[in-house]
Chains A and B, each alone.
Chain A
Amino acid sequence: MIAALGLLLGVTLGLVLTPAVPAVLAPYLPIAVVAALDAVFGGLRSLLDGIFDDKVFVVSFASNVLVAAVIVYLGDQLGVGAQLSTGVVVVLSIRIFANAAAIRRHLFKA
């Protein structure tokens, strides 16, 4: 629970402060956001499954975002940044869909 509260607090802080992002990091933002969404959906599903764990949630969130950024960085260095980003987005969105379906089954029993 502390993780969800902390996340909410962080989001609010970001909305209030709106700091500028250095241009170097700009290419990694879209993938990082998708990875964060994936972690949030995974956490939501585990909450409904009754196995939510603060530490796992935070660690999976951070590692998802970091790995996504590293993949994009690697792709940029190898000249296949766009293709790798597409691959990452495809995999993450399949996971998001699957988690969303599980959540739906939990909530509506359908």
Chain B
Amino acid sequence: MKTFNYTITDAVGIHARPAGKLVKLAKGFESKITLEKQGGKSADLTKLMAVMGLGVKCGDNIIVSFDGADEQAAFDAVTELIKAEL
């Protein structure tokens, strides 16, 4: 299992478009990827409505965890997208 901590710097946070991109990406991996809002709820990163429902905003801390056979590849791809978009 791998985890990634990040503070959102994008002004609007995880809104529909980046959520869509994350979910699309996450669906390509076997590993279970979980997005947790620090001090809040967590959601399976393959579930769009749940991810949007977390209401992650600018300045929020998130923890993404990866667990499974391809966790390294998933970690690399997802963290790259988060750093670039959020």
Tell me if chain B binds chain A.
no
